[in-house]
Amino acid sequence: MKSSFHFTKCAISIYLLLIVSSSDIFSQDIFLSFAGTGASTTVASVRIENLVQNTSKEINGTDILHLMGTITGIDPLSPNKDKISFSPNPMTDYTSMMIELATAGETFITLFDNSGRKIADKKNILSKGQHIFRIEGLNEGIYIARISTPIYTYSGKFFCTGKQPGTARITYENTVESADIEKSFSTGSKGDVVMQYNTGDLLKITAISGNYSTVITDIPATSKTITFTFAECMAGDNINYPVVQIGSQLWMAENLRSTLFNDGMAIENVTDDFIWSGLATPAYCWYDNQISNKNTYGALYNWFVVGSGKICPLGWHVPSDAEWGTLITYLGGETLAGGKLKETTAAHWLSTNLNVSNSTGFTARPGGHRYYAGPFGNITWDGFWWSTDEGPATYGWYMNMNHGYNTVSRSNYYKKNGASIRCLKN
């Protein structure tokens, strides 16, 4: 009686574990691939930042990004996690599946589509060790292969980008010698890189191709190919800036840090407060005269740099007040735009920078400013960006974002002050 009760209890436990495993296996996964257009049609590398979870991952441009709600992905009953591989993954015509068995015996292989429908199965008596099966006859989609023995169960997922008419087939090929395993399965046409993802998470995705870099933001809901439009944004000192499309406008995705005009002439770097205060000609500086601030916040320029008309890359320009207005209107107006433009992390903004999304990928940072008399101020508190419009007398217009608000404000600013610059495509 005791033995019977023990068996029943174990059976119920195994059944419950299988239910948990099944719900995990058939959760909706998303696969993203990447392509380029415009100035380049290839993608060398991709950086993915989850702006909700504050996590990131860098992958090759040919990899498949596998967004998974639960990244374990293998049945908890398995004593040999990750002992299943697919090459290539994603497949087009076929994929070779390698499995590793801890014990010899009767083995069932079942193939499911992403809805949980069984589409093929196979039973073999297999020895302990590694074995290869060929899977073919699939249409585009996500598939799950489950390996079951009398002792344990585990599973793996793969992606098909082809369209093969007919019936799904699982064919036994051969056993694998240990020396051949790494050679067969460490390389494939594309890698399947897993990243944890919850439905509704906002991703900032930066693609790089040679000197080109393009940023997009997305909340993926289905598997797809993301195509980046690459455009040259080469400033005077051969820095090719990342770009981001927001509505109908193409913006620089970072603050300008060029020390040269686009004709190659040097911009004067002024560190002395007294000299800065007397300028009526173009000049720039790094915040606190520290070059360590260059890559993080960009340079601070007086308005005379803007007035030269030569600071932005060829084909680009400093935006007018009206063009800033176009951006703000597209993002819902002055009271909402700041939260969609500001960087989300507390690495640069003060911790009171709350309820921001950076949903545009603009990634505004608080570079502060330099007063006309020379002193620096407001880094981590505020960001100030010039426009081309001149105000009354010795003033020019600028845009401001503050750590404590999600608004964008515009105002007059003394031309001798130092502020940041973002360029806009012509």
- Using one digit for the tens of pLDDT, what is the confidence trace for 5-59? 343 444 334 333 333 344 444 445 788 889 999 999 999 999 999 998 888 999 9
Residue 17 lies in a domain: yes
Confidence of residue 149 (pLDDT cuts 50, 70, 90): confident
User: For residue 214, what are the contacts with CB-CB under 8 A and spacing of at least 6?
Assistant: 206, 207, 228, 229, 230, 231, 242, 243, 244, 245
Per-residue model confidence (pLDDT) at position 28: 58
DSSP state of 260: B
Confidence of residue 247 (pLDDT cuts 50, 70, 90): very high
pLDDT per residue as tens digits for the range 150-201: 777 778 888 888 877 778 999 998 876 444 444 443 433 455 677 889 999 9
One-letter amino acid of 66: H
Residue 209 lies in a domain: no
The answer to whether residues 169 and 20 belong to one domain is yes
The answer to whether residues 192 and 313 belong to one domain is no
Q: Which two tokens stand for residue 87?
A: 């090459």
Please state, rounded to an integer, the average pLDDT across all residues of the chain.
85
Confidence of residue 236 (pLDDT cuts 50, 70, 90): confident
Residue 220 lies in a domain: no
The answer to whether residues 77 and 151 belong to one domain is yes
Residue 221 lies in a domain: no
**Residues facing 283 on adjacent strands:** 268
The answer to whether residues 26 and 117 belong to one domain is yes
The answer to whether residues 173 and 251 belong to one domain is no
Distance CA 80, CA 94 (A): 25
pLDDT at position 216 over 60? yes
Distance CA 234, CA 305 (A): 17
The total number of structural domains in the chain stands at 2
- Taking residues 327-349, report their average pLDDT: 93
- Taking residues 73-81, report their average pLDDT: 38
Q: Return the SS3 of 149.
A: coil
The answer to whether residues 50 and 146 belong to one domain is yes
Q: Return the SS3 of 369.
A: strand
Q: Which two tokens stand for residue 397?
A: 């217009």
pTM assigned to the model: 0.69
Residue 257 lies in a domain: yes
Distance CA 14, CA 11 (A): 5
One-letter amino acid of 335: T
The helix (H) or strand (E) run that includes residue 250 is: strand 249-252
Residue 387 lies in a domain: yes
- Sheet with 409-414, strands from edge to edge, namely 382-390, 395-402, 409-414
The answer to whether residues 261 and 393 belong to one domain is yes
The answer to whether residues 418 and 280 belong to one domain is yes
Q: Phi and psi dihedrals of 132, rounded to 5?
A: -115, 135
Confidence of residue 70 (pLDDT cuts 50, 70, 90): low
Length in residues, the chain: 426
Distance CA 397, CA 374 (A): 19
Cα four-point dihedral sign 38, 42, 45, 50: positive
The answer to whether residues 28 and 151 belong to one domain is yes
- Taking residues 58-68, report their average pLDDT: 87
Distance CA 99, CA 87 (A): 12
pLDDT per residue as tens digits for the range 258-283: 999 999 999 999 999 999 999 999 99
Confidence of residue 333 (pLDDT cuts 50, 70, 90): very high
Per-residue model confidence (pLDDT) at position 79: 40
The answer to whether residues 191 and 255 belong to one domain is no
Name the more confident of 383 and 16: 383
The answer to whether residues 304 and 157 belong to one domain is no
**Residues facing 32 on adjacent strands:** 65, 224
Q: Confirm if 400 and 382 have CB atoms less than 8 A apart.
A: yes
Per-residue model confidence (pLDDT) at position 391: 86
Tell me the DSSP string of 36-99.
EEET-S---EEEEEETTTTEEEEEETTSEEEEESSS--S-TT-SSTT-EEEESSSBSSEEEEEE
Among residues 413, 421, 211, 213, which one has the least CA distance to residue 317? 421
Domain stops at, among 153, 171, 196: 196
The answer to whether residues 251 and 388 belong to one domain is yes
Residue 42 lies in a domain: yes
Q: Return the SS3 of 409.
A: strand
Residue 223 lies in a domain: no
- Taking residues 404-408, report their average pLDDT: 92
Domain stops at, among 177, 196, 215: 196
Q: Give residue 410's domain range.
A: 247-425
